A and B are shown apart, each in its own frame.
Chain A
Amino acid sequence: MLQFSKFFATRAMLAILTLVMVSFIVFSLMELVPGDCAERYVAFKNSQGSVITPEDIQIERVRLGLDQPYIQRWVSWIINAFQGEYGDSCILRVDIAQLLGQKFWLSLGLCLSALLLAYVIAIPVGIIAATSKNAVLNNSLRLVSYLGLALPNFLLALMIMLFSTVYFGDSLTGLFSKEYRDAAWSMDRVMDFLGHAWLPIFILGWSATAFAIQTVRALMSDEIGKLYVTAAAARGVSGRRLLMRYPARHALSPIINSVGFDLNRIFNELPIVALILTLTEAGSLLIEALARSNDQQLAGAIIFMLTASIVALNFVTDIILALTDPRIRRSILG
């Protein structure tokens, strides 16, 4: 128990440390974007017809605290970020926490569902691919997972959308029907959401599944050749029981370990898929903030929240692994 709590504490500290480092990188990136919030705000005022001077920019900078040294601003940003306060968006002039609100959780939900879909398919299929001697089955599975890589998500999303627009007259875009877009959560809204969400989940899960099948297959075929499996077979364990009790257990633990990074990979695709399917969630806000309006506050907040969820997931999977595997508990840093 003591060993476990020690492991828990070390892991938690490492997670927070990683998050702080990530926040520093993200913050520095946002600083590098040309121009700052004050200039942007004043430029906006200028476009509204009021005359502005360099002094106005300076006053605005002081008001926003942008005249303080870099490190100091980072420290206050990170302290606020850990409390869920991200300040105001540079362009939209609204509180970011409010703006993102449930949009972020929607995005996270989409990505997690895609991840779940990927593993629900990939684990059994990967195990079958590794164990089966059927060449046709193996080759076709291989081709499918290759295509998962070669046909990127955005292309797939585009194809499905264009075909459905042209041949079914329904573009399959968005996350909600018009009447539910701003409605409060209710049973109907949930059903409406599910009716729309399957497509982004499928598209996001597509290459993740292909990738996961490859990983499961490779890990499984590595384990199957090992001596302990032969030994177990010699003791008379066979068939599914042999697979599940011996190699599968070992093969799956590196997979659990990398779930956080898989989530990362899916997050990667989200903004682009969101752009094509015009989803109104955090991914499209991120593109908007980065590509169109240079809204560094908003972009920084979104990237920070994404990485925080990945770090959290990594932490949770570490704990789960440690609970099931005593070897990991003992190696605290490993």
Chain B
Amino acid sequence: MTDTTNTAPTANQQLKEAYFTASQGQLIWQRFKRNKSALAGAWVLIILILSGIFSPFLTPYDATIAGRDKGYLNGAPQVPSFCDDNGCSIRPFVYTYERSRSFKTNFRWVSEEKTELEDRRYLTFFSKGMEYKFLGISFDRHLYGVDKGMIHIFGTDSTGKDIYSRTLTAVNTSMAVGTIGVLIAFFLALAIGGISGYYGGKVDSVLQMLTDTVRTIPNIPLFMALAAFVPDTWSSEERFFFISIVLGLIGWTTLARRIRTHLLSERNQEYVLAAQLCGASPAHVIRRHLLPSFTSYIIVDLVISFPYMILSETALSFIGLGLKDPVNSLGVMLQNVTSADVLLNYQWYFIPVIFFIVLVLAFVFVGDGLRDAADPYADTNK
């Protein structure tokens, strides 16, 4: 084909060719890109996940008690500025705070801002700080810091821990709990739903009853009962894995049901019969022929079930049965806002709540967008 004489038809043809030979993934991506809100949600999600993963670098201080600022308890967020009455500076700075209490402050500890020139704390980037391990290598550089003292852009909590550091670490923890939970739920759903749908008949009836039984027990009370076993002597890591496993063990039913319904309708198709006649084993037929027919649906379902895992973790931690304080999870952060004192005096405790809502919303938007994109008839219906 000569592309000098008729470029326009060729380009057109190439487009058509590309459309007809596109893999399912490419088609889904094309449809997904057109959905603006889902795309925005995906960006937010990617940013949040990355900032969770790189939280040791992005946060200036350790999120546990080791990184506390003794001189700045319940401190308000410090916003870096460039100018004040003493003139401007190229480098942004915050002020030094001094804690005091007196009759004037009703004997509450309050932090007083010292705005003199020598009290400025200048922002530094890639500054040296507490050592942390990432991918097994020790680092001590953090994205930002100040030249003397500490900086808290989201303020501090009652023990002086930096809320910004805690929030990013919490996003990471909650995502990790969700990931482990979703993975366990996914394998259970695949195994149970797959067997149930492939064999049908009696096997299906028995497994369906099992699924319905698990679905009948109210989740949160069940979580609570399971979490109540956790002895107080367990370390926070053990507790963390236990909670993730529990979330996974209970969350598989919806996906299992969906896989089963799909397999039930799909197993009588000719291509399955052909594979069986060729002597393929059931496991092979399920894995190589049936599952690929709805991989996209499974992925969509996993994304959709993610926020539920995070919500369950939050609810559990919120009532004090999930993760506990040395671990930072979104549930632990939300637990901190439960008093009128916080609402009246320490509103910056609510910053993690915003992160939580944005995270869940982003997941819901992406999940919905993926669901619409994965539907091959979405275009023809409209």
Contacts and interface: CB of A to CB of B under 8 A. Distances in A.
Interface of A: 14, 17-18, 21-22, 25-26, 29-30, 32-34, 146-147, 149-152, 154-155, 158, 162-163, 165-166, 225, 260-261, 264, 267-269, 271-272, 275-276, 286-287, 290-291, 294, 299, 302-303, 306-307, 310-311, 314, 333
Nearest to A306: B218
Contacts of A151: 357
Q: 10 shortest A-B CB distances, which residue pairs?
A: A150-B360, A268-B220, A267-B218, A290-B224, A150-B361, A162-B343, A21-B213, A29-B225, A290-B228, A150-B357
Given A22-B216, A287-B319, A294 B221 contact: no
Q: How large is the interface on B (under 10, 10 to 19, 20 to 34, 35 or more residues)?
A: 35 or more
Given A18-B212, A303-B225, 13 more contacts: A18-B209, A21-B213, A22-B217, A150-B361, A158-B338, A162-B340, A166-B340, A264-B218, A272-B319, A275-B319, A302-B221, A303-B221, A303-B222
Interface in B193-236: 205, 209-210, 212-213, 215-222, 224-226, 228-229, 231
Contacts of B222: 29, 303
B315 interface: yes
B361 A303 contact: no
Contacts of B205: 333
Contacts of B220: 267-269, 271-272
Contacts of B218: 264, 267-268, 303, 306-307, 310
Contact of A154 (B213, B231, B318, B381): B318
A149 B360 contact: yes
A307 B343 CA distance: 37
B307 interface: yes
B80 interface: no
B209 A34 contact: no
A149 B228 contact: no
Contacts of B338: 158, 276
A291 B319 CA distance: 8
A34 B228 CA distance: 9
Interface in B230-287: 231
A4 B311 CA distance: 42
A166 B343 CA distance: 9
Interface SS of chain A: helix
A310 B217 CA distance: 8
Interface of B: 205, 209-210, 212-213, 215-222, 224-226, 228-229, 231, 307, 311, 314-315, 318-321, 334, 337-338, 340, 343-344, 353, 357, 360-361, 364-365, 381
A264 B216 CA distance: 7
Nearest to B231: A34
B349 to A, nearest CB: 12
A48 B260 CA distance: 57
B213 A25 contact: yes
Given A33-B229, A162-B343, A286 B212 contact: no
A180 B46 CA distance: 53
12 contacts: A14-B209, A21-B210, A29-B222, A146-B365, A150-B364, A264-B217, A264-B218, A267-B220, A272-B319, A291-B320, A303-B218, A314-B216
Nearest to A276: B338
A291 B213 contact: no
Nearest to B377: A225
Given A33-B229, A150-B361, A166-B343, A290 B221 contact: yes
Nearest to A333: B205
B202 to A, nearest CB: 10
Given A17-B209, A149-B364, A154-B315, A290 B216 contact: no
Contacts of A276: 338
B215 A261 contact: yes
Contacts of B217: 22, 25-26, 264, 303, 307
A225 B382 CA distance: 9
A166 B344 contact: yes
Contacts of A158: 337-338
A299 B225 contact: yes
Given A162-B340, A291-B228, A303-B225, A272 B365 contact: no
Contacts of B353: 155
B340 A165 contact: yes
A155 B213 CA distance: 29
A107 to B, nearest CB: 11
A271 B216 contact: no
Given A33-B228, A146-B361, A152 B314 contact: yes
A34 B232 CA distance: 11
Contacts of A147: 361
Contacts of A17: 209
A149 B307 contact: yes
Residue from A32, A286, A290 with most neighbouring chain B CB atoms (10 Å): A290
Contact of B224 (A32, A152, A286, A314): A286
Contact of A152 (B221, B315, B321): B315
A271 B218 CA distance: 11
Contacts of A225: 381
A269 B210 CA distance: 23
A324 B231 CA distance: 51
Nearest to A139: B37
Contact of A32 (B216, B221, B229, B315): B229
A271 B225 contact: no
Contacts of A268: 218-221
A300 to B, nearest CB: 8
Given A158-B338, A267-B221, A29 B226 contact: yes
A124 to B, nearest CB: 22
Nearest to B350: A159
A66 to B, nearest CB: 18
Contacts of B357: 150-151
A17 B208 CA distance: 13
A258 B338 CA distance: 34
Contacts of B315: 152, 154, 272
B381 to A, nearest CB: 5
Contacts of A34: 229, 231
Nearest to B224: A290
B213 A306 contact: no
